[in-house]
Amino acid sequence: MRQLCLLAFMLALLVVGLGAYTRLTDAGLGCPDWPGCYGFHYIPSSADDHSLAAARFPDAPLEVAKARNEMVHRYAAGTLGLLILAMALLSLKPAYRAHRLPAWILLLLVAGQAILGMLTVTLNLLPLVVMGHLLGGFAILSLLFLLYCSSRPAPARGGVAGLAPWYLVAFGALVIQIALGGWTAANYAAMACLELPVCQGDWLAQWQWSAFHPHGVTADNYQYGVLSQEERVSIHVAHRLWAGLTTVLLLALAWQLWRRPGLKGWGLLLLLGVLLQVSLGVANVLLHLPLAVAVAHNGGAAGLLLILVGIGERGWRIGACPAGGALWGPQQHQADKGDIPREAI
């Protein structure tokens, strides 16, 4: 089970990266149908494939590069689904009863992701669906990481008193920031502001609350966005402003972690993650959204989320069961003789 979890986690990292790459190369509709591609179950590339694709979808000309990006993402996501299905089936064995609930929650999330993936295509990149698909992928990645972290021996000591409020506020701010990033990408607002620290002069005069309404299906196609420039500026500015608040909260949490025994490493890791993500965000604006930097920025958001998941898991286990075992089952842990009397070992 632990090996399956690690393999699924590594593949989930790849799927999240491929999803960002697919979105940023405008390949979300590289295949106009689902789950196949122009009626094929492989990447169409030959002259005969082009002819059949044109006959089947005359209004959606085949672009092989975009179709390839989309299908590679689908293949990877499908393989991840099969791995999580294997975890769920394995959890039916009595020896893995402790893993049953999280494994089946993961399977439900995968099923939901498959539905959102289908709707992404059939609703032609409806922003609310695209953002939900992004958040679903991050949720699967986080839960897999949480399960894997739980397989480690429980930490014997550490200071977590009073840490929960700092952690919960920072975690909530980061989730909102990730959602804003997804909304920015789904509405093609990443290039709405091309300067720092201001945005198109008086951005406040351009503010449009309508940019944040989860509109229903009102357009035939949402590729390249349907919102006005003012609405895109509003989305971009909201993402920037909340990023500033999130940065302050994450740095405050990093400081709290640094001050506590057993959590200094996590504090340093969080600090480095925040600095890297802010640098990537600034580079996206100044360099006009280069593909490699934009994909890395998406990965940085996932990295920060995983760091917070790891901090939360470790903090909970220090506070709840400082000498407990792992989620994966009984394990023998060697006690520190300087902390625990020999008679208790």
| Catalytic (active-site) positions | 70
Residue 224, SS3? coil
Contact in structure between 9 and 141 (CB atoms under 8 Å)? yes
Question: For the residues of 307-321, what is the DSSP string, one character each?
Answer: HHHHHHHHHHHHHH-
Contact in structure between 271 and 251 (CB atoms under 8 Å)? yes
The sign one gets for the Cα dihedral 123, 125, 131, 135 is positive
Contact in structure between 250 and 304 (CB atoms under 8 Å)? yes
How many other β-carbons are positioned within 10 Å of the β-carbon of residue 275? 13
Dist CA 259 CA 273 (whole Å) = 18
Residue 231, SS3? helix
Q: Which amino acid is at 218?
A: T
Q: Which amino acid is at 211?
A: A
In the numeric block, the tokens 């689908």 are attached to: 74
Question: For the residues of 110-130, what is the DSSP string, one character each?
Answer: HHHHHHHHHHHHHTTS-HHHH
